[in-house]
Amino acid sequence: MTVHGRRFAWGSRSYIMGIINLTPDSFSGDGVGADVAAAVELARRLEAEGADILDLGAESSRPSAPELDVREELRRLIPAFEAVRAATNLPISVDTYHVDTAKAVLAVGADMINDIWGFRHEKQHGSMAEAVISSKATVIAMHNQRGRAHTDVASDILRGWRETTAIAEQHGIPPDRLILDPGFGFGWRPAQNLEMLRRLPELWAAQLPILVGVSRKSTLGMVLDAPVEDRFEATAAAVAIAIAGGADIIRVHEVAAMVRVARVTDAIVRANWGSV
């Protein structure tokens, strides 16, 4: 897969997605809000630290967060996106499930849409796929377990991904434009989130690249009884386990440190002693 001129050779090494929260209410406490200069400074730092992709999001995805008005989402996103695009050479992903937001950021050059509902938002079924197909964008499609009946962690994820890929196929989006996310923290109990990491190899059945986002998540805090600002080691452990389980992309806040974690984990599980 090539995105914004960068080749991603799945299976050769782990790729790092750096998080830029344009929210005032991020669960992790790192949101820069509408401060464009702060977003640019963070983007440059993450690029220097070794990020392969930047992920900009303007709406908090924590369970209690209110749905953001699209006009407000775009007010936060567009100036920051344009400034970050001018300041870095990295592929840029936009974290949104709003169709009108996706259309607007794709029009100004977003390389990826990170959809936490994987084309399956109950209010907009199919519309996100329609928005994406007219672009060249890659889609990160998450399985979101919120509001869905649970039977078995791996089976539920694979079932959700089959629904997502079926929608993509119906709209003419080829598999080589899809990346799948199992949805750590989205509708699962803590024990189920940990089970998800243990069972990642079962998800290879989807035969598409996998992104995992565990950074600073509440499940890790519950394991250590630690607040969000004290989950660094927990994140590092979960990142290493995710890579060992087959994750291709890791979405993180602390890029420099997790690049090092990924490099050592790749050396062990992929016999890869350096960047590819």
> Does the active-site annotation cover 7?
no
Q: How many CA atoms lie within 13 A of 160 on its CB side?
A: 30
Distance of alpha carbon 38 from alpha carbon 199, whole angstroms: 38
Other C-beta atoms within 10 Å of 237: how many?
16
Task: Return the SS3 of 168.
Answer: helix
> Contact 106/146 with Cβ under 8 angstroms?
no
Task: Return the SS3 of 141.
Answer: strand
Distance of alpha carbon 209 from alpha carbon 163, whole angstroms: 16
Q: How many CA atoms lie within 13 A of 166 on its CB side?
A: 8
Distance of alpha carbon 174 from alpha carbon 26, whole angstroms: 33
- Which of 251, 260, 263, 270 does the annotation list as catalytic? 251
Residue 82 CB partners (closer than 8 Å, separation 6+) = 108
Q: What are phi and psi of 56, to 5 degrees?
A: -100, 130
Provide the strand spans (E) within the chain: 2-3, 6-7, 15-21, 53-57, 92-95, 112-115, 138-142, 178-181, 211-212, 249-252
> Does the active-site annotation cover 136?
no
- Which of 217, 231, 263, 270 does the annotation list as catalytic? 217
Q: Catalytic residue numbers?
A: 217, 251
